[in-house]
Each structure stands twice: as C-alpha cells, then as structure tokens.
Amino acid sequence: MNYLLLGGARSGKSSYAERLAKELGGRVLFVATAEAGDEEMRRRIEKHKKGRPAGWKTLEASLDVAACLPGPAVQADVVILDCITLLMNNILCRQMAGGEAELDAERVEKEANLEIDALIECMKKSQASFIIVSNEVGCGLVPADAMSRLYRDMLGRANQTLAAFADYVYLMVAGIPLPLKPQAGA
C-alpha cells in the first residue's frame, strides 16, 4: 500500500506519517530530503532524528531519491519519504547553483518530472509500503515572481502524479487526516 499525505506547514503530516508507519509495523526506513543549509535547519533536522524510534533506519537523500532507495528499501517494510516539498526545492536550487544567468524552467520541470517518475518506478518494484509527505501549496495566492510560480507548479504536478499512483491520499488539517482517496462510498 502506498500513501500520500498532503497539507500545509505544521498541519501534522510528518507526525501522522510516523503514527501510520508504527501502525503498519515492521522495519521502517525514514528517507529525509532536507538539507541543513543554516543553523536553524540543522537544529530542526537533529530534533526530528532524535524523535524517531531507535530501530528505524534513516537515509538522507536530497536528490535522486529513487537511485538511493533500492538496497535500503529492500530491507524495509515501510518507507517514509519526508518530503517531496524539499525534494522539489533541492532540484530548483541545484539548477540555480549552476551559475546560469537565467533560470531554465523547462529543464527544471523535466528534472522534477523525471525524479517523480523514477520514484514511482521504485515504489512499483518494492514490497515496502511507502508513506510520502508533501505540502499542498496551491491554495494560496498566485506567487508574484517567476521562480516561485515555477516551484508551485513543479510541486503541484508532483503531488498530482503521486496522488494518482497512491492507494490512499489524505489531506492533513490541524492534525486531522481527511481522506481524499479512496473516496467514501467509492
């Protein structure tokens, strides 16, 4: 079974992912996509690490997640990937760090699509249940600049692709999981 947990910042996505992993049982692999770019983020990452059960394995993969997963995923019953939001950010930042004068939106979107497609192929081949965490960023205002719009679009497409593949999709609101897929009565 594969799950997608969507929601805003501090909506309870990660906490619910961890509870769900405990309920599913077995060996858990936590895949972290965050990069510690500053001291505050380092503290957040360390706090998250300390909060996980001692028996869980952690894999840090800020890019090319599917390429990092085959070996570790084989040894897991449940894989939590937290989160797609930062993975898309890392793809965008990698292109910006390339020193190019102008952002190549088409290339960045292609990289993002390839990353998500590779992840889904990895999930199809794995016996593990996957719990994917991502932010829902399409409910607000249209961003004022091109880079922010590109990021919102990349993440929105990634979420749509993952939601189509997932067996279960939940929207987290104030710590409450609202089922979107399968729909009640469907």
Catalytic residue among 45, 48, 56, 109: 48
Residue 94 scores a pLDDT above 90: no
Any domain includes 65: yes
Any domain includes 53: yes
Q: What pLDDT is stored for residue 185 in this prediction?
A: 61
pTM: 0.93
Residue 133 scores a pLDDT above 80: yes
Q: Residue 63's domain spans which residues?
A: 2-180
Any domain includes 35: yes
Any domain includes 7: yes
Tokens of 54: 């001692």
Residue 184 scores a pLDDT above 70: no
More confident residue, 158 or 74: 158
CATH code: domain of residue 108 = 3.40.50.300
Structure confidence at residue 95 as a pLDDT band (50, 70, 90)? confident
Q: What pLDDT is stored for residue 49 in this prediction?
A: 86
More confident residue, 105 or 116: 116
Any domain includes 185: no
Pairing of strands 78-82, 129-135: parallel
> Whole-angstrom Cα distance, residue 113 to residue 105?
12
Any domain includes 85: yes
Tokens of 99: 């020193």
Q: What pLDDT is stored for residue 100 in this prediction?
A: 64
Total tally of structural domains belonging to the chain: 1
CA-nearest of 181, 143, 139, 179 to 162 is 181
Which residues, in sequence order, are bridge partners of residue 78? Answer: 28, 129
State the DSSP string of 88-124.
HHHHHHHHHTTT-SS--HHHHHHHHHHHHHHHHHHHH
Any domain includes 148: yes
> Whole-angstrom Cα distance, residue 9 to residue 41?
15
State the DSSP string of 72-85.
HHHT-SEEEEE-HH
Does an H or E element contain 181, and which?
Answer: strand 176-181
Any domain includes 186: no
Q: What pLDDT is stored for residue 6 in this prediction?
A: 98
Q: What pLDDT is stored for residue 112 in this prediction?
A: 97
CA-nearest of 65, 162, 69, 164 to 111 is 65
Spatial contact of 7 and 132, defined as CB atoms under 8 Å apart: no
Q: What pLDDT is stored for residue 103 in this prediction?
A: 79
> Whole-angstrom Cα distance, residue 21 to residue 137?
25
Structure confidence at residue 129 as a pLDDT band (50, 70, 90)? very high
Mark whether 136 is an active-site residue. no
Average pLDDT over residues 145-156: 93
Q: What is the pLDDT of residues 165-176, one digit of tens each?
A: 999 999 999 999
pLDDT > 90: what percent of the chain? 72
Average pLDDT over residues 48-74: 89
Mean pLDDT, the chain, whole residue set? 92
Q: What is the pLDDT of residues 5-45, one digit of tens each?
A: 999 989 999 999 999 999 999 999 999 999 888 899 889 88
Which residues, in sequence order, are bridge partners of residue 4? Answer: 132, 169
Query: How far is C-alpha 49 from the chain's CA centre?
Result: 17
